[in-house]
C-alpha cells in the first residue's frame, strides 16, 4: 500500500480540543460538510491562502493516508483536483506530527519539507 502524507489545518482551539478529547469531528465547516477536509503537500499552500488567510493561530497536522482505512475517500473538489476527505472522526493517535504555522507578511510559512 502506498504511503502519502496528508495535512489538516487546525485553528489553535481545534488542536487543543483534539489533544484533550483524543478525537475530533473537525472544524465547523467539516461538520457542516459531513467529512474532515485534508490537503496534499501540493495543495496545502493554496488551502491556507484561500480559507485561512491572515489567521495567526493555525497548526498543520500530518497524517499517513494509508493508516486511515475506508473512511478516507479521495474526491474531486477545487479546480477538479482530488482531495482527501475523512468520513469519520480523526483520532489524535493518527497524527504523525503537528506544528504551529508562523505568519510572515500576511503569508503562512509552511514547514520546509512536508513529508
Which tens digit of pLDDT belongs to each residue from 77-107?
888 889 999 999 999 999 999 999 999 988 9
Domains of the chain: 5-106 (3.20.170.20)
Query: Does pLDDT of 19 surpass 80?
Result: yes
CA–CA distance from 63 to each of 9, 36, 54, 106 (Å)? 11, 12, 24, 26
Other CB atoms within a 10 A radius of the CB of residue 79 amount to 7
pLDDT tens, residue by residue, 40-78: 999 999 999 999 999 999 999 999 999 999 999 999 988
pTM: 0.92
Q: Report the candidate in 75, 54, 51, 59 with the shortest Cα–Cα distance to residue 17.
A: 59
Other CB atoms within a 10 A radius of the CB of residue 52 amount to 17
Amino acid at each position: 500500500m502506498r504511503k502519502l502524507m496528508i495535512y489538516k489545518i487546525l485553528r489553535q482551539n481545534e488542536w487543543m480540543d483534539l489533544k484533550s478529547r483524543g478525537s475530533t469531528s473537525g472544524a465547523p465547516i467539516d461538520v457542516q460538510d459531513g467529512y474532515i477536509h485534508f490537503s496534499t503537500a501540493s495543495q496545502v499552500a493554496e488551502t491556507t491562502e484561500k480559507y485561512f488567510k491572515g489567521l495567526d493561530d493555525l497548526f498543520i497536522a500530518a497524517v499517513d493516508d494509508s493508516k486511515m482505512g475506508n473512511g478516507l475517500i479521495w474526491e474531486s473538489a477545487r479546480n477538479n483536483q482530488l482531495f482527501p476527505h475523512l468520513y469519520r472522526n480523526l483520532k489524535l493517535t493518527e497524527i504523525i506530527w503537528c506544528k504551529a504555522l508562523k505568519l510572515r507578511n500576511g503569508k503562512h510559512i509552511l514547514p520546509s519539507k512536508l513529508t
